[in-house]
Amino acid sequence: MKISNFFIFSFFLITGFLWGVRVEGLRHHHHHHHRHQNSHNNPKSYKNDQKDHQFYNFKPTKMFVFGDSYVDTGNNRKSMANSWKQPYGLTFPGKPSGRFSDGRVLTDYLAKFLGLKSPVPYRWMKYATNRLRYGINFAYGGTGVFNTTVPEPNMTTQIDFFQKLMAESVYTKADIEQSLFLLSLAGNDYGAYLANGGTVQDIPAFITSVVNQLVVNMKRVNKLGAKKIAVTALEPLGCLPQSTILNSFQQCNATENIAVDLHNSLLQQAVAKLNNETMGSTFVILDLFSSFNSVLASKGVQGSTRFETPLKPCCMGISNKYSCGSMNVKGEKMYTVCNDPKSAFFWDTVHPTEAGWHAVYTNLKSTLTQKIL
């Protein structure tokens, strides 16, 4: 993408329109959702996949998950995150469970696709030892590849946790080789960068450093034995309700969606390079940009899910001082919830509903079938 676009991008960021992927429940979520190019629609990028699958054509028996609130299923501290407050978890399991949604999130649907139970959150593993055979979820809402504005472990530390379990022989090398590794980067690094005084001029260089660190993490889990590694592309942040609220949830901000091209094109190039250079392993991009856009643009044809007001969140604060889950000092709800969460794509100003994630998962199924199984 052209640098000139980044100045427009930065203007939106600095004025708060684009506050980063704090895919997490603290007030005024910072979400940096970066757009993903059609990485898996480019067969040349994955020319080695077929070769690799001849040697590693297996259905994963476990999942190991790293990243942020798009995949977190309960690691954040209850005292800090809205994901542990009402009305989160309203649809599933019927009460707050630490998921940043009314119900199931991407992790849950990927586990279902593999015929597995959703991997237990790392924070709760000692209370669910019978679930360890399905893997572990190390993701914490609000985190990134670098330190962000939340005191939760970044992706490097999350992988440290995993490596410690390997050293303790909780999992064997054979277990790891038969697993799917999922890395989610929804953009919290960018929100933290700007919150900490990062400059407009240095944003392109910082994006490069974020993608480079993500690649370091992918290579690291590969060296630890992972054979199938999936990484999310950044979703269209210009379509997040925190942005579309400016036009009454009528349309996505095209400038913001153009701006995320740099992150996702760099990611696409990096994954193609990894697939070319790494024998016996498959790296896959889960294109959240395309899948979000496809679902949001759906007219309900061919059995696809149609959301009546796709850009409007189901749950939102009664004013810009509050967010979904907020209470005042009297314990009164400072938010409203729509009548039917299934009718909304977005749950809050950043995260999809369970129905939204299911629609995204359905859109990703062909990629999952081709690249993961």
Q: Exposed/middle/buried for 360, CB within 10 Å: 0-12, 13-18, 19+? A: buried
* Element spanning 27, H or E: none
3-state class (DSSP) for residue 157: helix
Q: pLDDT at position 27, please?
A: 32
**pLDDT category of residue 24 using cuts at 50, 70 and 90:** very low
Euclidean distance between CA atoms 42 and 317, whole angstroms? 41
Residue-range domains of the chain with CATH: 3-306 (3.40.50)
Residue 343 pLDDT greater than 50, yes or no: yes
Highest mean pLDDT among 12-16, 42-46, 326-330: 326-330
Residue 229 pLDDT greater than 80, yes or no: yes
DSSP secondary structure of 213-261: HHHHHHHHHHHTT-SEEEEEPPP-GGGSHHHHGGGTT-S--HHHHHHTH
Averaged confidence pLDDT in the chain: 86
**pLDDT category of residue 191 using cuts at 50, 70 and 90:** confident
60-109 pLDDT per residue, tens: 999 999 999 999 999 999 988 999 999 999 999 999 999 999 999 999 99
Q: pLDDT at position 201, please?
A: 79
Residue 271 pLDDT greater than 50, yes or no: yes
Euclidean distance between CA atoms 107 and 119, whole angstroms? 8
Q: pLDDT at position 150, please?
A: 94
Share of the chain above pLDDT 70, in %: 82
Please provide residue 64's backbone torsions phi and psi, each rounded to the nearest 5 degrees: -120, 125
* Element spanning 136, H or E: strand 135-137
- Kindly state the average pLDDT of the residues 349-354: 97
Query: For the ranges 176-190, 215-229, 254-268, 333-347, which has the lowest average pLDDT?
Result: 254-268
**Is the CB of residue 99 less than 8 Å from the CB of residue 350?**
no
**Is the CB of residue 281 less than 8 Å from the CB of residue 52?**
yes
Quick one: which of 64, 323, 275 has its CA closest to 177? 64
DSSP state of 315: E
Q: pLDDT at position 301, please?
A: 53
Residue 364 pLDDT greater than 70, yes or no: yes
Can you say whether the dihedral through the CA atoms of 264, 265, 267, 271 is positive or negative? positive
Q: pLDDT at position 299, please?
A: 62
Residue 11 pLDDT greater than 70, yes or no: no
**The pairing of beta strand 135-137 with beta strand 120-121:** parallel
Q: Which residues are catalytic?
A: 69, 348, 351
Highest mean pLDDT among 129-133, 181-185, 248-252: 181-185
The token pair that represents 212 in the structure block: 């480079």
Residue 340 pLDDT greater than 70, yes or no: yes
